[in-house]
A and B are shown apart, each in its own frame.
Chain A
Amino acid sequence: MAASIPTATRSFIKFIGSELWFSTGYRTPSKCLTRTLSTQSVASTDSEVTRPKRRAEKLSAAMKAFLKRAKEHESKINKYTEEYELGRKHLANMMGIHPDEMTQEHINEAIRYLLPSGLFDKGSRPQFKHPKDILPLNFDFPFDKAGRPYHYQYYTLLPNYHCIMSEAAWRMECLREEEVRIGSTGAPPQEEMKHLSEEYEWMDLRTFLNYFKSNHSEVVQVNEHNRFVILMTKLSKMRLREQDVAFLKQFGSPKTSEINVMDTEEIKKFYVNEQGRKFRTKNGYRKSAIAQVTVYAEGEGILEINGKGIEYFESQYAREQVLFPLVLTSSLNKVDVHARVEGGGEMGQSGAIRHGLSNALLPFVSQQMVNKLSLSGLLDRDSRVKERNKPGQKKARKQFQWRAR
């Protein structure tokens, strides 16, 4: 057997072991219970055991080690604060300011002047701050006197991250059970349950990493962030109670703010007719076709191309190209279009009209639609042109017949 085992556990083993000794057909190797790292001499253990009364409370070794480290940390901080305050007074004297009126901005400016550095990394440039801002302050003692940790997931190395994830998973389980109960019995729900009206946006990678580093001093990886986003989106798509919505709002917010791709004043420019009608003309280009398109707002749906209607184009594809921007913005019968086209062929002319039309529609359409149009690519000039012929080849890509010799 291993090292010395106190008598209380010895009697415990005897009691338990006797039951198991004869009941099992085989024996497992790890029947030795409890473990002691100590190599205490015999005399000390005997003296402990003979006294059944309670001894004075002793601190655990973990607590002792922490107190030692905390004292060292404190002494360090005290030393650095003394140096800092001395230096601060000298700096104030040099600058000609009273030390009480000196702020951190003054100090930063002074340091940049006195100790200029060309280093790119701002963290490695010389700083002059209070040691509390520089040295790590999170010196929490995560367990009590007996050595028992406070957090129930301390033994996973990222307790707070896993606590959040397990809480979300537990909420999902509860909600699923509720749904099953409601569906099977037809009873009303115990609390009000609603779907979320808006789609939620979750924490950025950077904010996520900073959240755990600054609050709990835990180093989290990108994988953890991905899993977090997946779990939260799953939870947000269920029918939620009020407490679940409050839980989710800690980590995300509804997607209200849109990225405005084009927000310049030029887009919103339009002119006014003699008759008081708003209009805008824009040129459209495709291959060698040039089109001038004017769009009149508050119209009936008139479409004119070189004096003719949509019948100017014979093929269905060309007609669709012209009508597509109007269909997207749902302004078929709200807008009048007059277009003049020259050059190119059928397809080129239709593409040019499309280009001009979508650029001319912008002031008469919402910002959301402007973003959509720009992202779809309708506002870009299609730069594809016929590829030139190359010498030694028949056409742009076609080559002469291969000969063996």
Chain B
Amino acid sequence: GACIPSLSQQKTYKTDIKAKVVNPRPLTVTRIYEKKVILKNAEAAAALAKEEELSDKKEKINVYKSFHRDIAEDNALKNPDFFKVKEMVDLHTLFKNRVHFGHHHGCRHPFVVPFLYGVRQNTDIFDLDKTLPRLHNALNFIAHMVYRGGVVLFVSRNAQTMPLVEYTAQKCGEYSHCRFWKGGLLTNIDYLYKNLTRYPDVVVFIHTQNNFSHEHAAITECAKMLIPTVGIVDSNCNPTLVTYPVPGNDDSLDAVKLYCKLFEETILRAKEYRKRDIEELSDDSDES
């Protein structure tokens, strides 16, 4: 039977209570409009108008300025599970591949506590009822990004699983960085690369920690550059800066093999759909 948590643990645990939303507001995105400064002096206004005209004509080196959409995304967004991600993973498969095992309770990170079910023989156990929907969301997100032609970067700094991760990245047609992370790779990109390079659109962390059991430097860099991240968060890891944290085991080989298999499947499926939908559109629409 499961072990009963002690009194001290009872205090720290927070069950998944639904928050009472007092003033419900829909999730809207506000745009920052350019402030129109109304000047009393007509000359200053004319000068400002001139500057604005010139600034529009100047070419701003901007990677996403000419980001063209080659797929109509509305179809994909109508269906909540367009890529049939929920068929890929079961709760049973997670359990079988030992995803629920965490570290010793002494290594526990306080922010991971909500994802834990309990402790058994001094090891933290993850609540798979919470990991499964998060895993589905993460896979769905990756699939959507790949569907639109996004660049996925796999990051991990574990020597045992490094060949596996790089092999999966190669198979998918995506990218990997399982080596020493040079500081400023994303924040100081123009200095390190000869050519103007494209930022990765998603960064997937299979191990969020580096060799010295500190947080990987890429997490903060992605957060600074506003690159969404998907990360598998173990019980000794910090989940705050990861956009799609998937609480689960990252130390056992079976679990990592499962994650790699799932990421590979979603990416290839999304690419299939992209190919299919691009072809369909090209037949229908007129080339403008």
Query: Residues of A at under 8 Å CB distance from B?
Result: 1-5, 8, 10-23, 25-26, 28-42, 52-62, 65-66, 141-143, 146-149, 152-157, 162, 166, 169-170, 172-173
Could you show 30 A-B contacts with beta carbons less than 8 Å apart?
A4-B31, A5-B31, A8-B77, A11-B77, A13-B29, A14-B27, A19-B133, A19-B137, A21-B27, A34-B228, A40-B65, A52-B72, A53-B286, A57-B68, A60-B63, A61-B61, A61-B65, A62-B197, A62-B198, A65-B195, A143-B197, A147-B197, A148-B198, A149-B197, A152-B173, A152-B175, A155-B177, A157-B185, A166-B167, A170-B163
In the complex, which residues of chain A have a beta carbon less than 8 angstroms from the beta carbon of B144? 12
Q: CB < 8 Å: which of A18, A58, A141 contacts B68?
A: A58
Q: Are B288 and A166 in contact (CB under 8 A)?
A: no
In the complex, which residues of chain B have a beta carbon less than 8 angstroms from the beta carbon of A18? 27
Of B3-11, B14-22, B101-109, which stretch is located at the interface? B14-22
Known: A25-B16, A54-B287, A58-B68. A37 touches B73 (CB 8 A): no
Q: Are B64 and A38 in contact (CB under 8 A)?
A: yes
In the complex, A145→B136 CA distance in Å? 32
Taking CB atoms and an 8 Å cut-off, the chain B residues in 201-249 that contact chain A are 201, 223, 225-229, 239-243, 245
In the complex, which residues of chain B have a beta carbon less than 8 angstroms from the beta carbon of A34? 201, 226, 228
Taking CB atoms and an 8 Å cut-off, the chain B residues in 68-120 that contact chain A are 68-70, 72-74, 77, 80, 114
In the complex, A329→B275 CA distance in Å? 73
In the complex, which residues of chain B have a beta carbon less than 8 angstroms from the beta carbon of A39? 34
In the complex, which residues of chain B have a beta carbon less than 8 angstroms from the beta carbon of A54? 69-70, 281-282, 285, 287-288
Q: CB < 8 Å: which of A2, A55, A172 contacts B288?
A: A55
Q: Are B166 and A166 in contact (CB under 8 A)?
A: yes
Q: Which of chain A's residues has its CB closest to B181's CB?
A: A156
Q: Does B2 contact A (CB under 8 A)?
A: no
In the complex, which residues of chain A have a beta carbon less than 8 angstroms from the beta carbon of B60? 38
In the complex, A56→B195 CA distance in Å? 25
Q: Does B262 contact A (CB under 8 A)?
A: no
Known: A4-B31, A37-B63. A152 touches B176 (CB 8 A): yes
Q: Are B175 and A153 in contact (CB under 8 A)?
A: yes
B271 CB to closest chain A CB (Å) equals 12
B111 CB to closest chain A CB (Å) equals 8
Inter-chain pairs besides A16-B141, A152-B173, 17 sampled, C-beta below 8 Å: A4-B31, A8-B69, A13-B29, A19-B133, A37-B63, A54-B288, A56-B288, A57-B68, A61-B66, A61-B196, A65-B195, A141-B195, A143-B195, A143-B197, A148-B198, A152-B175, A170-B167
Q: Are A147 and B31 in contact (CB under 8 A)?
A: no
Known: A11-B77, A22-B21, A62-B63. A169 touches B175 (CB 8 A): no
In the complex, A23→B196 CA distance in Å? 40
Q: CB < 8 Å: which of B114, B167, B176 contacts A26?
A: B114
Q: Are A25 and B19 in contact (CB under 8 A)?
A: yes
Q: Are B177 and A153 in contact (CB under 8 A)?
A: yes
In the complex, which residues of chain A have a beta carbon less than 8 angstroms from the beta carbon of B66? 58-61
In the complex, A367→B21 CA distance in Å? 90
In the complex, which residues of chain A have a beta carbon less than 8 angstroms from the beta carbon of B34? 39, 41
Q: Are B21 and A25 in contact (CB under 8 A)?
A: no
Known: A38-B65, A61-B66. A152 touches B228 (CB 8 A): no
Q: CB < 8 Å: which of A15, A28, A42, A162 contacts B243?
A: A28
In the complex, A263→B43 CA distance in Å? 94
In the complex, A44→B163 CA distance in Å? 46
Q: Are A35 and B225 in contact (CB under 8 A)?
A: yes
In the complex, which residues of chain B have a beta carbon less than 8 angstroms from the beta carbon of A149? 175, 197-198
In the complex, which residues of chain B have a beta carbon less than 8 angstroms from the beta carbon of A147? 63, 151, 197-198
In the complex, A23→B288 CA distance in Å? 44
In the complex, which residues of chain A have a beta carbon less than 8 angstroms from the beta carbon of B226? 2, 30, 32, 34-35
Q: Does B174 contact A (CB under 8 A)?
A: yes
In the complex, which residues of chain A have a beta carbon less than 8 angstroms from the beta carbon of B178? 166
A262 CB to closest chain B CB (Å) equals 46
A299 CB to closest chain B CB (Å) equals 60
Q: Are A53 and B243 in contact (CB under 8 A)?
A: no
Q: Are A156 and B64 in contact (CB under 8 A)?
A: no
B44 CB to closest chain A CB (Å) equals 21
Q: Are A169 and B182 in contact (CB under 8 A)?
A: no
In the complex, A355→B145 CA distance in Å? 79
In the complex, which residues of chain A have a beta carbon less than 8 angstroms from the beta carbon of B16? 25
Q: CB < 8 Å: which of A61, A66, A162 contacts B63?
A: A61
Q: Are B32 and A4 in contact (CB under 8 A)?
A: yes
Top 4 nearest A-B pairs (CB, nearest first) are: A147-B198, A35-B226, A58-B66, A170-B163
B17 CB to closest chain A CB (Å) equals 7
B166 CB to closest chain A CB (Å) equals 5
Q: Which of chain B's residues has its CB closest to A147's CB?
A: B198
Q: Are A42 and B225 in contact (CB under 8 A)?
A: no
A79 CB to closest chain B CB (Å) equals 22
In the complex, A171→B188 CA distance in Å? 34
Q: Which of B151, B166, B193, B241 has the most CB of A within 10 A?
A: B166
In the complex, which residues of chain B have a beta carbon less than 8 angstroms from the beta carbon of A148? 149, 151, 198
In the complex, which residues of chain A have a beta carbon less than 8 angstroms from the beta carbon of B192? 157
In the complex, which residues of chain B have a beta carbon less than 8 angstroms from the beta carbon of A169? 162-163
Known: A147-B198, A155-B177. A25 touches B72 (CB 8 A): no
Q: CB < 8 Å: which of A61, A62, A155 contacts B200?
A: A155
In the complex, A111→B166 CA distance in Å? 52
Taking CB atoms and an 8 Å cut-off, the chain B residues in 152-177 that contact chain A are 153, 162-164, 166-167, 169-170, 173-177
In the complex, A39→B60 CA distance in Å? 10
In the complex, A128→B73 CA distance in Å? 58
Q: Which of chain A's residues has its CB closest to B226's CB?
A: A35
In the complex, which residues of chain A have a beta carbon less than 8 angstroms from the beta carbon of B64? 35-38
In the complex, A18→B195 CA distance in Å? 39
A235 CB to closest chain B CB (Å) equals 12
In the complex, A146→B170 CA distance in Å? 18
B220 CB to closest chain A CB (Å) equals 10
Q: Are A156 and B18 in contact (CB under 8 A)?
A: no
Q: Which of chain B's residues has its CB closest to A39's CB?
A: B34
